[in-house]
Chain A
Amino acid sequence: MNDLVAWASLAPLLALVGSLINAFFGRSLKEPAPGIIASVAVGLGFVLSLLAFFGIAGTGEAVRVGLWDFLRAGDLELSLGFHLDQLSVLMMLIITGVGFLIHVYSIGYMHGDDGYSRYFAQMNLFVASMLVLVMADSFVFMFVGWEGVGVCSFLLIGFWYKDLANASAGRKAFIVNRVGDFGFLVAMFLTFKVFGTLDIQTVNAMAPTMLYGSAALTGIGLLYLLAATGKSAQLPLQVWLPDAMAGPTPVSALIHAATMVTAGVYLIARTSAVYAVAPGALATVAWVGVLTALIAAIAAVGQTDIKRVLAYSTISQVGFMIAAVGAGAYWAGIFHVFTHAFFKGLLFLAAGSVMHALGGEQDMRKMGGLGKRMKITGTTALIATLAIAGVPFLSSFFSKDAILAATFTSGTLADAGGGVLYALLLITAGITALYMFRWYYLVFAGPERLDRGASQRVHESPGVMTVPLVVLAIGSVLAGYVGLPAFLTDNRIMNWLSHSTTTGEFTHLGVATEWLMLLGAVVVAFIGLGVGYWVYVVGKGALVKRLDNTPIAGASRGAFGFDALYKAVFVDTGSGAAEAVTLLDREVVDRGFVGLGGVAPLLGGLIRRWQSGNVRAYAFAMLLGAAGLTLVAALVGVLK
């Protein structure tokens, strides 16, 4: 059984091989061969992950696959390997499963693009890095994957690099992520200092023996949180994700919705034992998650770009996940990662399908009524919209409710404002329903506002794109049933993940209270949808026009001015300093050396008169010199 699980360590290698084939030979392959190679590589990875999943389900034991000794220096012994347990195998299923569907979809979406094979090479490299990230048994190996997905994200955001805006968006994502990576590095240093090892399982095993709530452990927790805020686009490093929408839409679906942005959630869940003894850090995690969720949800209401709404929605939803792990309910966070991968991946792919049909149009004000013309895209998008809004019996209903309940009952948050966090998350859930209604209504329902050219072009996307939509739609409906509320029945995902995470303390609520909270979440979701219906369908958007100039609308459009603030504080300071240095270089250094150069011709001007070219003058000088030397020699002889 263990051998079966160990085979899964080939999954990253398969993706890497696919990437290399496409990188070196992709240009000589005919479309759609690169896409098929890449999809097969990821699909085989999914099969291996499934085998590993059943293997671990059978034995219930984690499997360790050693790869090789990386380095030995002093006290540091580092061997690289994979740790396959309940948590990592679930992440592998998400990455390869959703990844496979998105690869297939890309075969249609990227049709005719100049960088067809480059695209698939980078996508496969991303999958390989992401798998390394979740499978790694040490922080160092995890960091390899962490940086790998960062690079792939950078490459794919700037995929159409000939447009300067896309290239800058890629750079922005990379640079903002560096701040988080810095946190990861320092956290690793501190981990090694405190625990004497970088092996994740050893660290988790040792953590309960450490001093509860000590400054060092809290420091480690906060630094890993900084790392998570970078990769998962949380406050204060959330600014890169909306710009990351410059990349191809399937990239947004895979990297910036389903997988990479959940790496921060995974990191915190992976190190749950450390957070269990660092309650201060854990409470900070929860607050960061909740505030991000709220702010991003408000920002999502004001966006007019079809993808930017989804980007802010992703930030907000990842905020929910971070809030869940911050409450100590790691299973709930990963549960939401799981359901979110389906419905958000689907929303992005549906958005891509719309853009594909409209020839790249992204402004929602020029859409509307597309549900009638694109039946499959419209229907699947409706399912995803209802799922993310929290409509009962769809996936997000269960996972979001688990998160809400966790913040309300968490033992670690009891003294850190758990009630406030619960209330804020509930409000956010309502806003989520509102902005998703708005999104769906502006794109798929209501009157058509298309340009005349675009209106004639509209068509349903080919089967290679719609089939993944349908599969993801089925997932969006059913994914929630792996985590039915624990007070009713067996919560499978909670039990599954309890083997690899240290769940926090929770107060037990009565069944009546649990039902009441469930009801509250449903009511809030329908209030959100109802407000949307009232504003856009009944009121025909009149209220929006009236609110247009209010500060709250401005804050929503500008996402609370974080971009402007960072531009003023960091970018402008940086370019100001650069300009000052340029000035110094030009006016002082350059001028100094040019001036110094001016001295040489001056000296030369004095000497050049000697070089008259007149042979007899030279001869005379030589004669004088010889006579002088003789005179000196004679005088020296006499004086002796």
Chain B
Amino acid sequence: MVPTEYYVGLSAILFALGSVGVLTRRSAIMLFLSVELMLNAANLAMVAFARGWAASGSKTALDGQTAVFIVLAIAAAEVAVGLGILVAIFRNRVSTNVDELAEVRG
């Protein structure tokens, strides 16, 4: 069996990639992709831990799996709403550059 640490390591790398994407990219689409990447990195960590716990015979082994389902569902909803907003913005401004969407500043 592949040790849990490997999965967690992969998860950390994916999360870091996602974060860098969020911080560096200007296109809103790419921002969404990066956020998805970060979410799935977290999911991967949770599934990996759940599997690890199950192997050690813990009774709460399935908690991680369940949490992932919830995260997936919420991520789907978020993307649906987010993409809707994005389409509306694009229609107005013919651009999805987030740096230009800075009207609501103090």
- Per the bound structure, the CA–CA distance linking A415 and B23 in Å amounts to 109
Interface pair A608/B106, CB less than 8 Å apart: yes
- Per the bound structure, the CA–CA distance linking A361 and B24 in Å amounts to 94
Contact of A616 among B23, B103, B105 (CB under 8 A): B23
Instruction: Using known A-B contacts A614-B99, A616-B98, A616-B99, determine if residue A623 contacts B19 with beta carbons closer than 8 Å.
Output: yes
- Per the bound structure, the CA–CA distance linking A610 and B106 in Å amounts to 8
- Per the bound structure, the CA–CA distance linking A604 and B98 in Å amounts to 25
- Per the bound structure, the CA–CA distance linking A614 and B104 in Å amounts to 9
User: Would you list which residues of chain B between 68 and 105 have a CB under 8 Å from chain A?
Assistant: 98-99, 101-105
Closest to A626 in B: B19
Q: Is B50 an interface residue (CB 8 A)?
A: no
Query: Interface size class for chain A?
Result: 10 to 19
Cβ–Cβ < 8 Å partners of A612 in chain B: 102, 105-106
- Per the bound structure, the CA–CA distance linking A612 and B101 in Å amounts to 11
Q: Is A620 an interface residue (CB 8 A)?
A: yes
CB distance from B30 to the nearest CB of A (A): 11
Cβ–Cβ < 8 Å partners of B31 in chain A: 615
Q: Is A609 an interface residue (CB 8 A)?
A: yes
CB distance from B15 to the nearest CB of A (A): 10
Q: Is A613 an interface residue (CB 8 A)?
A: yes
Q: Which of A607, A608, A616 has the most CB of B within 10 A?
A: A616
User: Would you list which residues of chain B between 9 and 29 have a CB under 8 Å from chain A?
Assistant: 19, 22-24, 26
Q: Is A611 an interface residue (CB 8 A)?
A: yes
Cβ–Cβ < 8 Å partners of B104 in chain A: 611, 613
CB distance from B104 to the nearest CB of A (A): 5
Question: Chain A 591-627 against B: per-residue CB contact (8 Å), 1 yes, 0 no?
Answer: 0000000000000100111111111100110010000
Interface pair B22/A613, CB less than 8 Å apart: no
Interface pair A619/B106, CB less than 8 Å apart: no
CB distance from A616 to the nearest CB of B (A): 6
- Per the bound structure, the CA–CA distance linking A623 and B22 in Å amounts to 10
Interface pair A615/B101, CB less than 8 Å apart: yes
- Per the bound structure, the CA–CA distance linking A614 and B97 in Å amounts to 11
- Per the bound structure, the CA–CA distance linking A611 and B102 in Å amounts to 10
CB distance from A607 to the nearest CB of B (A): 7
CB distance from A617 to the nearest CB of B (A): 9
- Per the bound structure, the CA–CA distance linking A609 and B105 in Å amounts to 8
Cβ–Cβ < 8 Å partners of A623 in chain B: 19, 22-23
Interface pair B23/A613, CB less than 8 Å apart: no
CB distance from B85 to the nearest CB of A (A): 12
Interface pair A613/B19, CB less than 8 Å apart: no
- Per the bound structure, the CA–CA distance linking A615 and B85 in Å amounts to 15
- Per the bound structure, the CA–CA distance linking A616 and B31 in Å amounts to 9
Closest to A612 in B: B105
Closest to A620 in B: B23
CB distance from B42 to the nearest CB of A (A): 11
Cβ–Cβ < 8 Å partners of A611 in chain B: 104-106
Q: Which of A604, A607, A610, A615 has the most CB of B within 10 A?
A: A615
Cβ–Cβ < 8 Å partners of B105 in chain A: 608, 611-614
User: Would you list which residues of chain A between 57 and 115 have a CB under 8 Å from chain B?
Assistant: none
Q: Which of A610, A611, A612, A613 has the most CB of B within 10 A?
A: A613
Interface pair B106/A607, CB less than 8 Å apart: yes
CB distance from B29 to the nearest CB of A (A): 13
- Per the bound structure, the CA–CA distance linking A616 and B99 in Å amounts to 8
Contact of A614 among B19, B22, B24, B102 (CB under 8 A): B102
CB distance from A563 to the nearest CB of B (A): 64
CB distance from B58 to the nearest CB of A (A): 20
Closest to B104 in A: A613
Contact of B106 among A609, A615, A620 (CB under 8 A): A609
- Chain A to chain B contacts (Cβ below 8 Å), 26 pairs: A604-B106, A607-B106, A609-B106, A610-B106, A611-B106, A612-B102, A612-B105, A612-B106, A613-B101, A613-B103, A613-B104, A613-B105, A613-B106, A614-B98, A614-B102, A614-B105, A615-B31, A615-B98, A616-B24, A616-B26, A616-B98, A616-B99, A619-B22, A619-B23, A620-B23, A623-B23
Query: Which residues of B are at the interface with A, using a C-beta cutoff of 8 A?
Result: 19, 22-24, 26, 31, 98-99, 101-106
New contact pairs (8) apart from A623-B22, A623-B23, CB-CB < 8 Å: A604-B106, A607-B106, A612-B102, A613-B102, A613-B105, A614-B102, A616-B24, A619-B23
Query: Which residues of A are at the interface with B, using a C-beta cutoff of 8 A?
Result: 604, 607-616, 619-620, 623
| Top 9 closest pairs, chain A to chain B, by CB | A613-B105, A608-B106, A611-B106, A613-B102, A615-B98, A619-B22, A612-B105, A613-B104, A614-B102
